[in-house]
Structure 1
């Protein structure tokens, strides 16, 4: 870790690219470049991708149908993507390009590029130790130094908002309980795979300053996109067809990357890092269970899960707190003036349960039950009598659905905890202050002795930089946003409210964007029950046909 650089840059954001650097093809070049592990970029300035700096590897990838494919690919490891990294361990990326698939040559020169982040819990993510495609992951997990095991919490404290399932680049579980690696599936489909690392909320330097809190992670991912675009023609693949993917906090960042493309609000942060002079817009977004819209997440969570008993205690949370937060959600939801998909009408706190049932939950249950054998379906319905099965369709009430889901994962408030115990409190830390309130409600009710009622002056801007809804709703929507959205989560996911991703989908659809959004029946956080469909969706929206 480059602690001296961290001390100089972790708090103060300063001027732009290195003085004296030349620009070639939109990429800042320094007079000196190091050999590096995968590219000629170095902390001193160069941002030119070394086309020859790869190794050739072979791996076997099991696709979504269970078929094995032998893939030989070129692998560039830990390429720094900014000229002035704060911490090169995290501000580097891996590139994987297929050469042969099942013994047949593949031309990936114009293939889509999957930009697969492995961020979980807004924690640091590094590709430095990866030995091949799909090898990046979280670091800095409290109590340990590597990626948590499947199902482990990546947050801090019992109220953490960012529990993760983590494995090989996207940390997902398929319908059969197996781990899904989207980078490997994409590689086997003939796509180019870029896996960027990013700073995260737990990182501190020798002076105890936090240098990975908001908005570091999204700034890093934008810088990674800029690096790839600036090296068009050097990095194989179609740099105008970059598809972002991520899960949980990574899903939130993927959504934000898509919504905020080329926004000038991030420019000073990117200049400070010496990011390439190129676009940071991505073509399409894949987001699984996104933990986002954080300043409104407490109210949304109580609207959804406020009457469910808490995990571990078996008791409902303080209902006064819950009701107050629900009132905040109702006010916020009304302000959005969003309309539901398929002509539903305006989405309000009063109508949202009906919308979720008709648009998502009942269709999800119907698809699940339809796929079962007749005997398995009869058995499932006997065990779950709250479901009415008629004419091949499932129906049920909202209260029964909540009972079926069971315990809520988090306390109240779920994200801006009164005792500053969540990962999100850490996400909005600054300087040597590791945890801060980021909502007026959380600040007013602080049990740690903070009697102030006004948020720190820097927080409103940082909250905006971390929220994709800022770029999709209100005023003028971002013209450089992604136009294609793939959003998924499980019906039993209580890490956040079901309204969060539904609002995201409704906001994008209202702008005329292509939106594919559904919920996996009886699946929890980190589920990915249709990974093969996502890989095919990439080919459809990008117009890609694999070339030999």
Structure 2
């Protein structure tokens, strides 16, 4: 069937696109609601500019907005897109055994829909605009943390759309799932996208892909997830919680496919996660930094939360990478500086020309540059970053004002406390002395650290984790703890920080695509 429509030219994530509809195949209805229709695609052509600046013309088959559960609550969000390359620069590509990049577009734990997408990379996807790939800290784009509902670096124009397009040009299959989010309400005013809806939906989408092995092109045993911010949290959670039984009742209610929801590898950028401990981690990291207004946060609250972090970190008994030893609140600053921050600064400075390096060092005298290496103190690093993004508490606000408070809403209750400390200091007039009884379960369902602590056998064994050094949407310890926990279980961990980059940065997308090929053992046919 000739489609005949022609899409315009757009720029997505810094990569030029020129989509042109061509001949596709007629969709045919299936007796099985969860059977993927191999012929239900549209053939499109796009031009992808790779990280070397070279253009690649990619012809691909595109399946749009396929509902991935038998009993959807909202099909607008519980659907996915599939993109499969068939020709790259005129040469036929066989993607039947290619890795599958499973790239969610969740930002701020908000709803994410692929229903209006016009092709790969998020064209028409909901979720809002975000910080572009590699954007420096201080960019005008909104921060995509849960506390800022407008941000989303995976959707239109964002960092993860770069990953998706580069993956397609590398010959990989790309799956883009939608998911319910925290702001969705039905006619009765009930919230139906709060925890654990997003992770349950993404698990159901993984199950759909695995269930359709042989119908959906690609190697369903080589699914690699990707996400940023809250999407990075969900990607981490997918990786940590593969086949965990605690989601069974939720997946059954949706009529999810009878298949595994384990993934092979995890890509997570600036994950906003471990939420029940995030306030303490944030204050440990940024507690002495002023807000952008120049005001200092309540230091009594900050110190109490820092103490909570120290207690929590001690219970984890995590060992740092490269033989550092047990990570504690007392030595975590040293660990971050030596393991991540100085190497990050060194890599950045080495990438500069001699004159640019001299200029940067002259403007940042806290760095000692000697023997081709950067050294500095934790205190000077904090001064260099400057203003913190969030007040205190950063996540479980006393006035129930954050996106995370909304994420743990239930029924017609828009926001709830999810920490005892937040509830104890509530300023909204609540009289409850204890957290709602379901909160502990919700926290386990939403926290990758819980599953890593359980040594979940179905977890991902390969981890790609990235964070900007100036990202004060979260604590630098959050991703470092995930990395340490995974490495402590013997998993392959590739974790680094981007120097002078803010929330949502993705400055090495080409390396991520090569990493996928390496860990999956894939060689393009």
TM score, norm. by length of structure 2: 0.91
Provide closer, same or farther for how the CA distance between residues 40 and 125 of structure 1 changes in structure 2, counting only shifts above 3 A: farther
Q: SS state of the match for residue 125, structure 1?
A: coil
Alignment correspondent of 1:419: 399
In structure 2, the CA distance between the partners of 1:193 and 1:170, relative to structure 1 (3 Å rule), is farther
Match for 2:285 among 285, 304, 317? 304
Distance 2:178 2:263 in 1: 17
Q: Determine the structure 2 residue equivalent to 1:452.
A: 432
Distance 1:294 1:252 in 2: 10
Aligned to 1:508: 486
After superposition, the C-alpha distances for 1:130-181 in whole angstroms (9 at most, x for unaligned) are 0001126764x7xxxx54676224568xxx2667343546832xxxxxx852
Residue 542 of structure 1: aligned partner? 520
- Taking the TM superposition and a 5 Å limit, the aligned residue runs for 1:35-114 are 40=29, 46-114=33-101
* Correspondences of 1:489-528 after superposition (within 5 Å): 489-528=467-506
Counterpart residue number, 1:478:
456
Residue 63 of structure 1: how far off its partner (Å): 1.0
Structure 1 residue 46, shift from structure 2 partner: 1.1
1:11-410 alignment runs, 5 A limit:
40=29, 46-135=33-122, 139=126, 146-147=128-129, 151-153=141-143, 160=147, 164-166=151-153, 168=155, 171-172=158-159, 181-311=162-292, 313-410=293-390
CA distances 1:273-306 after superposition (whole Å, capped 9, x unpaired)? 0000000000000000000000000000000000
How far did 1:39 drift? 7.6
Residues 40 and 135 of structure 1, relative CA distance in 2, 3 Å threshold: farther
Whole-angstrom CA distance in 1 between matches of 2:374 and 2:26? 55
Q: Deviations over 1:4-53 (max 9, x none)?
A: xxxxxxxxxxxxxxxxxxxxxxxxxxxxxxxx9978479xx710000110
Structure 1 pair 498/327, CA: closer, same or farther in 2 (3 Å)? same
- Please state whether the residue corresponding to 1:60 is helix, strand or coil: strand
Deviations 1:320-342 (A, max 9, x none): 00000000000000000001000
Taking a change above 3 Å as real, the CA distance of residues 430 and 419 of structure 1, as seen in their structure-2 partners, is same
Q: Is the 1:137–1:167 Cα contact (8 Å) retained in structure 2?
A: no
Query: What stretches of structure 2 of length at least 5 have no aligned partner?
Result: 1-24, 133-140
Taking the aligned partners of 1:545 and 1:201, their CA distance within structure 2 comes to 40
Distance 1:480 1:507 in 2: 15
Distance 1:385 1:449, change over 3 A: same
Q: What is the TM-score when the length of structure 1 is the normalising length? A: 0.87
Deviations 1:223-274 (A, max 9, x none): 0000000000000000000000000000000000000000010000000000
- Partner secondary structure for residue 326 of structure 2: coil
Q: Which range moves more in the overlay, 443-452 or 352-361?
A: 443-452
Native 8 Å contact 2:483 2:495 kept in 1: yes
Residues 542 and 170 of structure 1, relative CA distance in 2, 3 Å threshold:
farther
Contact 1:93-1:224 at 8 Å conserved across structures: yes
Contact 1:38 1:76 (8 Å CA) reproduced: no
Tell me, yes or no, if the aligned pair for 2:130 and 2:155 is still in contact at 8 Å. Answer: no
Name which of structure 1's ranges 203-212 and 445-454 shifts more when overlaid on structure 2: 445-454
- Does residue 434 of structure 1 match 2:417? no
Cα distance 1:193–1:154, how it changes in 2: closer, same or farther (>3 A)? same
- Distance apart, 1:183 and its partner CA: 1.0
Q: Matched residue of 1:77: which SS?
A: strand
Unaligned runs of 5+ in 1: 1-35, 173-178
Give the C-alpha shift of residue 451 in structure 1: 2.9
Q: List per-residue Cα deviations over 1:405-431 (Å, max 9, x = no partner).
A: 010000000000111111000000000
* 1:488 CA drift (Å): 0.2
**Structure 2: distance between partners of 1:154 and 1:224:** 23
- Residues 406 and 415 in structure 2, CA contact (< 8 A), matched pair in contact too: yes
Separation in 1, partners of 2:391, 2:149: 13
The root-mean-square deviation of aligned C-alpha atoms, in Å, is 1.8
- Paired positions, count: 493
**Is 1:116–1:183's contact at 8 Å kept on the other side of the alignment?**
yes
Q: By how many angstroms is 1:453 displaced?
A: 2.4
SS at match of 1:69: strand
Q: Is the 8 A contact 1:40 1:48 kept in 2?
A: no
> 8 Å contact 1:125–1:200 — kept in the other structure?
yes
* Cα 1:38/1:403, change in 2 over 3 Å: farther
Distance change (3 Å), C-alpha of 1:38 and 1:254: farther
Conserved in 2, the CA contact under 8 Å of 1:416 and 1:442? yes
**Cα drift, residue 450 of structure 1:** 1.1
Matched residues in 1 for 2:27 and 2:409: separation? 33
SS in 2 for 1:115: strand
Q: Contact 1:418–1:445 (CA<8 Å) still a contact in 2?
A: yes
Q: Distance in 1 between matches of 2:411 and 2:463?
A: 35
Change (3 A) 1:148 1:92: same
For 2:54 and 2:150, locate their aligned partners in 1 and report how far apart those are by CA, in whole Å: 31
Distance (whole Å) between structure 1 residues aligned to residue 27 and residue 199 of structure 2: 23
